[in-house]
Amino acid sequence: MVKLLVPEPLVAEFSADSRFKGEDWEAVGDFREALRLLTQEENLALFMGPAAAPLDMATLNAAVAPFYSLAQPVMLISSDARLLWANETAALEGISLEMAPHGEFLQFFEPTSRRCFQKGLDRCLADKVLARAIILRGEAAFEATLVPAGDKAHALAAVVLSRKDDPSLLYDRVSRLSSVAVNLFPEDVEALVRLPNEKRINLIKELIEKTVKQTFEYDDFILRTLDAKTGSLDPILARSGTGATLSKRMLHAGKQGGSVAGFVAATGEPYLVEDAASEPLWIGDLEQIQSAVVVPLKLGSRVLGTFAIEKREKFAFDRYDLVLAVILGGYITAALDMADLVGLGQSVLVEQVAESAAEEVAGHLKNISDSVADLRRHNIGDSIAVTSRLESISASASTIRDAILKGARKVGAAVAAPPATEDVLAGKRILVADDEATILQSLGDILRSHGCEVDFARDGFEAVEMATNAIYDLVISDIKMPKMSGYEVYSSIKSKFPETSVILMTAYGYDPTHSIVRARQEGLEAVLYKPFRAETLKKALRQAFGKKEAGA
C-alpha cells in the first residue's frame, strides 16, 4: 500500500482532489521534508498537485539518471517549476533542495526572468522539445536549457544551466581561433601554386585538421562537399579525436527525412544538436555521439558543403560554440576555395593566380566579418551582452585577410577591394530612443554597418527634443521609457513631422496602456518585439522606407 506525502501548502488542494479519496496519506511540513522522506522510505509517493500524478522514487530516479554524469549544474523540476533534485554542481551555484524548503525553483532567480523561464518550460513540456531561457541571478546570467525528462504520467523537465556572464568562457576560444586560423593560409602563394594538385589539397586538409584540433575539443569532425547536381554530401575529411580516419558515410541534402548535415546543406543554416537522442534528423559518423555542431560551408549564398564537430557527451556544445563554428567554417571554406582556385594550371601566370586568389578570399573574409556582425547581434534585447565579447572574431578575420594579401603581394598581385553593394538604408538619418545602453549599441552597430547616420536618445523627452531640432528619416523608440512613453514620442513626432517614419519597440509584448493598438490605428509603420533578430529590424526598416517612397 502506497502512502501519499502531502506538503502542508498543498493539503487543501489534496483534500479537494477526488482521485485520492480514502487513500492513506500524511501531511509533511514542506517539499524539502517530503522529498527527504521519499528518498529514505519505501512505498511512498509525493502529491504534486491536482493536475499531476503522484511522484514515486522509481519515477524520480528514472528521470534523473540521464543527467547524473553532466558536469554542468542540472536540476529536475515539475511543471509548476518546483525543484525536485539538483546535482552537486548546482549546489556550488547555491541551488539546492536545502535552500528551497517549498520547492520554488524560480526563487533563485530575478523576478524579471521568471516569465520567460515559465514560457520555455511550458513549451518544453507541451511539445516535448528542448527549450531555452535566459535567467538572471543578481549580476550573474545563465542560459537554461530545458529537456523533457518525465514519462506520460509525469510532466518533468531537466534544467541544464550554463553560465553566460564569464568573459573567459568565450574569450579563450576566440583568442585560440584568432591565433591559429591564420595558419590555414600559407603566405607563400607562389609555393602553393607550384604544388601538384593532390599535394596542395592534402596540405590544406592537414592545416584544417590542425586548426580544428587547436580550436575545439571533439570526438570527431567531418568535412563534406556538396554535389550541386545530385545533392550528395561526400566526406572529404573525417577524423576522430585520436586522428584516425573515419568510415565515409554518404549523406544527401534535404530539409526533411534526411540528416542534420543534409538539412544544413539544404537550408544554409547552422544547427546545434544538444541531445542526439531527441534529434530525429541526427545521423552520427561515430557511434555513441550525443551532441554536435553542424555548419554550412558557403561562398556567398551558395552552399559548398558542411562542417561538423561531434562529441559523446550530451550538451557538450552551446550557442557560442555554434558562433565559433560558423566563423571557423568560413575560414575553412576560404582555404578550400583558395586551394581549388590556385589549381588553374601551370600555364597561368603566378601573378594572375595570386591576384585572383587574393581577391576571392579577401572578399569572402569580408563576408565572414559581415556574418560576425549579424551573429554578434543575433538577438537584440537579449540579457547577455554578447556583442562586446565577439569583437576579437572580427579582428581575427581582418588578421587573416591581411595575411592573405601579404602573401599575394609577394608575387605582385594587385588586390581590388570587394565590390560595394547597394542598400536602401544607406544615407538614412535615424534616431534611436531607448533607456538601455546595450540596445542603443546593438542597433547603432547594425544601422551604421548599412551606411546609416545614427543618433541616440535615452528617454522620451530627449527623443522629441532631438527630432524637433533635426530632420530624421525614421525614429525607432521603445514603448517603456522615462519622462515620455514611446506612444507619446510617436504622437508628438507625427503631429509635427508627419513625413517622418516611426517604429516602436516593446519587450515580450509589454503594452499595458494599449498604446500600440492606438498607434497602429493612427498609421504606425511597424512594431518590433524584443528580443528580435537583426534581419527582422532590417526588414521593418526597408518596408517603412518602401511605403514612404511609394507614397511620394
In this prediction, residue 374 has a pLDDT band, given cuts at 50, 70 and 90, of very low
In this prediction, residue 219 has a pLDDT band, given cuts at 50, 70 and 90, of confident
Mean pLDDT on 471-494:
91
Mean pLDDT on 240-266:
76
Q: What pLDDT does residue 327 have?
A: 76
CATH topology of 167-409 equal to that of 429-551?
no
**Residue 120: CB partners within 8 Å, gap ≥ 6?**
131, 132, 133, 144, 146
| DSSP secondary structure string for all residues of 244-282 | PBPP---EE--SSSS-HHHHHHHH---EEES-GGG-TT-
- CA distances for 95 relative to 17, 47, 116, 549, angstroms: 31, 23, 19, 56
Cα(266)–Cα(96) distance, rounded to whole angstroms? 44
Of 11 and 412, which is predicted with more confidence? 11
Cell numbers for 369: 566579418
Of 305, 309, 366, the residue nearest 337 (C-alpha): 305
Lowest mean pLDDT among 61-70, 382-391, 440-449: 382-391
Q: Looking up cell 591576384, which residue turns up?
A: 355
In this prediction, residue 160 has a pLDDT band, given cuts at 50, 70 and 90, of very high
Cα(90)–Cα(70) distance, rounded to whole angstroms? 11
> Is the per-residue pLDDT at 540 higher than 80?
yes
| DSSP secondary structure string for all residues of 340-378 | HHT-S-TTS-HHHHHHHHHHHHHHHHHHHHHHHHHHHTS
In one letter, which amino acid is 154?
A: H
Cα(468)–Cα(463) distance, rounded to whole angstroms? 9
In this prediction, residue 308 has a pLDDT band, given cuts at 50, 70 and 90, of very high
> Is the per-residue pLDDT at 386 higher than 50?
no
- CATH fold of 3-163, please? Beta-Lactamase (3.30.450)
Of 382, 493, 375, the residue nearest 438 (C-alpha): 382
In this prediction, residue 190 has a pLDDT band, given cuts at 50, 70 and 90, of low
pTM here?
A: 0.48
The class that CATH gives domain 429-551 is alpha beta
Cell numbers for 255: 530539409
Of 465, 552, 463, the residue nearest 502 (C-alpha): 463
Q: What pLDDT does residue 265 have?
A: 92
Lowest mean pLDDT among 159-163, 205-209, 353-357, 397-401: 353-357
Count CB neighbours of 543 within 10 A: 14
**CB burial of residue 4 (10 Å; 0-12, 13-18, 19+):** middle
Q: What is the pLDDT of residues 30-87, one digit of tens each?
A: 888 888 898 888 889 999 888 789 999 999 999 999 888 888 899 999 998 999 999 9
Domain residue extents for the chain: 3-163, 167-409, 429-551
Lowest mean pLDDT among 97-101, 336-340, 345-349, 499-503: 345-349
In this prediction, residue 294 has a pLDDT band, given cuts at 50, 70 and 90, of very high
Cell numbers for 531: 528580443
> Is the per-residue pLDDT at 475 higher than 90?
yes
Q: What pLDDT does residue 351 have?
A: 37
Look at residue 183 and give its three-state secondary structure: helix
Q: Are 476 and 490 in contact (CB under 8 A)?
A: no
> Is the per-residue pLDDT at 472 higher than 90?
yes
Q: Is the peptide bond before 531 cis (omega within 30 degrees of 0)?
A: yes
The class that CATH gives domain 167-409 is alpha beta
Q: What pLDDT does residue 128 have?
A: 87
Count CB neighbours of 508 within 10 A: 12
CA angle 55, 57, 60 (to 5 degrees): 70
Cell numbers for 223: 568535412
> Is the per-residue pLDDT at 511 higher than 70?
no
> Is the per-residue pLDDT at 454 higher than 90?
yes
Q: Are 493 and 470 in contact (CB under 8 A)?
A: no
Q: Are 297 and 311 in contact (CB under 8 A)?
A: no
What percent of the chain has pLDDT above 90?
20
Q: Are 309 and 334 in contact (CB under 8 A)?
A: no
Mean pLDDT rounded to a whole number for the chain: 77
Cell numbers for 512: 499595458
Look at residue 241 and give its three-state secondary structure: coil
Q: Are 369 and 398 in contact (CB under 8 A)?
A: yes
> Is the per-residue pLDDT at 503 higher than 90?
yes
Instruction: Specify the length of the chain in residues.
Output: 552
